[in-house]
Amino acid sequence: MMMLIKLFLLVSLFTFCQGKKINTWEEEYPFIKNASSFSSNFKVLVLERGGVPYGNKNTSLKNFHINLADTSPNSPAQLFVVEGVFNVRPRILGGGSSINGGFYSRPSLRSLMELGLDPKLAYKSYPWIEKQIVQWPVLNPWQRAVKNALLQAGITPDNGYTFEHLSGTKISGTIFDKDGIRHSAAELLKSANPKNLDVLIHARAQKIVFDQSSGKPRAVGVIFKDEKGEQHEAVLSNKKKSEVILSSGAIGSPQLLLLSGIGPKAELEQMNISVVLNNQFVGKGMADNTQNNIIVPFNRPVEQSQVQIVGITREGIYIEANSGFGQSPSSIHYTHDNSTSGEEQNEELPHEAYNAGGLLFKVSNPLSTGELSLNNTNADDIPNISFNYFSNPQDLQTCVNGYHILEKLVKTNYLTQFMQPGNDTFQKLLKYTVNENINLIPKTADVTKSLEQYCRQTVITFWHYHGGCHKGKVISSKYEVLGAHGLRVIDGSTFVKAPGTNPQATVLMLGRYMGIKILRKRLGKAAGV
C-alpha cells in the first residue's frame, strides 16, 4: 500500500530510548504505536525495528550485563561475533543509549573540527542534551580509589567534574540517576511536538525506494515490515524538502544503503540487487575501539558501578573502571520472586552477582580497519563485518602501553586494599583475567608470556564501532548521500574516529545539531533556533 507523508520520513533503527519505568507510557508518548497501525496521516515518521524499553527492568544499571546476555530473538541487544569478539547491535527504541554503560563525555575541539562540525553550534547543542538526561555520578569506593590511583600513577591533573575532554583524570556525566534508572535518548522526545511526530515500533526497514526517472535518483519512500510480517511502503510527499534520514548506526545505515542499491556495483550485482548508485566506499573503513582490561577480584562487597571516571593520556589511551559486572553467564544468578501471587509467584528473577572490578582501557583512534558487506538480502540479519583487530602494529603497541599504565595502577595503595590474597600482583591479575574476559579467541598456554600476545588473545569491545558511511566518500558535509537527492545519513557510521572517550555524547549532539541546521535552511530566522 502506498502511503503519503506530509513533510519527511525519518528512518531510525538506532535512536531513541526511555529507561524510566512508566506504567502508562502510552499516555505519555501517544505517538508511539505498533508498526501495523501505519496510516497516511504523518508529518514526521520514525521507524524503529525494536520494541519499547518501558517496563523492561533490564535497561536499569543493575541489570546491565543481563540485558547484554539476552540472546532471545527479540532481545534489545542483537548478538554478533567479529573475529572471535562478542558484540551487540541495539534492537530497541533508544538504540545504544538504552543498553550501553551510560558514560557521557564530550570530545575535544580538535575532534569536532576533524568531524567537520561548527564548534559554536556543537557547543550550543550539547547542553540541550545534558539538561534533559545527563546526571553527575556519586562515586562508590572503587571508582573513588581508581580516580586516586590514576592521579598517583601520573595521569594528571585532577580535572574534577567536567564534560570536557581534558588530559588528566576527571569525573564525567552519566545517563543513570542515583537510583540506577536510565535516562536515555527517548526522553528527548518530550521536547517534540506530538502533533507532528509518529514513532512506529517493530518496524523493520527493508529498503529505500528511489525515483530514477530523471537526473539523480531521489529517495521517495521506505519499504518496511511490521510486527506481523506484513509489508508496507511509506511514501514521501512530492515536496522538494521531503527526505529520508538514516540514523541506523554503523551497521544498519551502510547495510540499508547496500540493500537499497547504493554501494559497490559488483557486490550489489552478486546479490541480485538493482544498482541505483555505484559507490565503492559504502561499508568501508569500519573500525571498533578495542577494550583490554584487568579484572580485580574484591576482598569485600562493593556496589555496582558503570564508568564514571576516566584517565585521558596524551598518547590516546583512555582508562576507565566499573564494578560488580561480569562477562560470563555464571555471574548471573536466579532467585524466586515471592512478592506476587498466583502464577507469577514462583517466577525466577535474574540478578548479577559478581564481586570484582574492572580496569579498562581503550585504544582511542585505531588504525586497524575493516569493512561491511552483505551476506544475504535479509535486513534483520547481521551482515559480514570485519574490524581486523590489531592488524596495525601501532594499535598493538598502544595496547601494550595501556597495560603498562594498568600495572602502575594495581601497585598503588589505593587499589591493593581491594585485592584478594593470591590475586594481588600484576601477573596474577593477568592470569585471573584470562578466564574472566569472554571471547572466542583461542588461548595459548603461555598467553601471559608477552603483553602483545595477551592483547590479541583477551581483546573485547567497548561497543564503539563506527564507519561505513564516511564524509566525502559516501555523504557530503551536509550529511547528504552523494549522488542522490532527499537522503541523508546522520549517525556513527559517518565517523572516521569515535569522538571523545565515549561517543554517546556526540552521537546525541549530532541529532540536535543537524536538526538545527535543517530547520535554519528551511525556515531561516523563523526556525527560532
- Binding residues, by number, are 463-464, 492, 503-504
Q: Is 482 left (phi over 0), alpha (psi -120 to 50) or beta?
A: beta
Known binding positions for FAD: 463-464, 492, 503-504
Helix (H, G, I), strand (E, B) or coil at 200: strand
Using the 8-state DSSP alphabet, how is residue 89 labeled? E
Catalytic residue among 202, 464, 466, 470: 464
What is the residue type of 407? E
Chain Cα centroid distance, residue 488: 19
β-pairing, 42-48 vs 2-11, is parallel
Q: Which three cell numbers stand for residue 59?
A: 535497561
Longest CA span, the chain? 74
- Alpha-carbon distance 95 to 92, whole Å? 5
Q: Using the CB atoms, write b or e for 494-505: b if 16+ within 10 Å.
A: bbbbbbbbbbbb
DSSP 452-495: HHHHHHH-EE-S--B-SS-BTTTB-TTSBBTT-BSEEE-SGGG-
Using the 8-state DSSP alphabet, how is residue 281 labeled? T
Q: H/E element holding 147? A: helix 141-152
What is the residue type of 117? L
Active site residue 333: no
Q: Which three cell numbers stand for residue 439?
A: 571471547
- Alpha-carbon distance 65 to 326, whole Å? 7
Contact 467, 286 (CB under 8 A): yes
C-alpha distances out from residue 117 to 40, 390, 421, 490, 506, Å: 36, 29, 51, 13, 11
β-pairing, 332-336 vs 348-352, is antiparallel
Please list, in sequence order, all residues whose beta carbon lies within 8 angstroms of the beta carbon of residue 359, skipping any fewer than 6 positions away: 146, 293, 294, 296, 319, 321, 406, 409, 410
Please list, in sequence order, all residues whose beta carbon lies within 8 angstroms of the beta carbon of residue 506, skipping any fewer than 6 positions away: 106, 107, 111, 115, 499, 500
Which residues carry out catalysis? 464
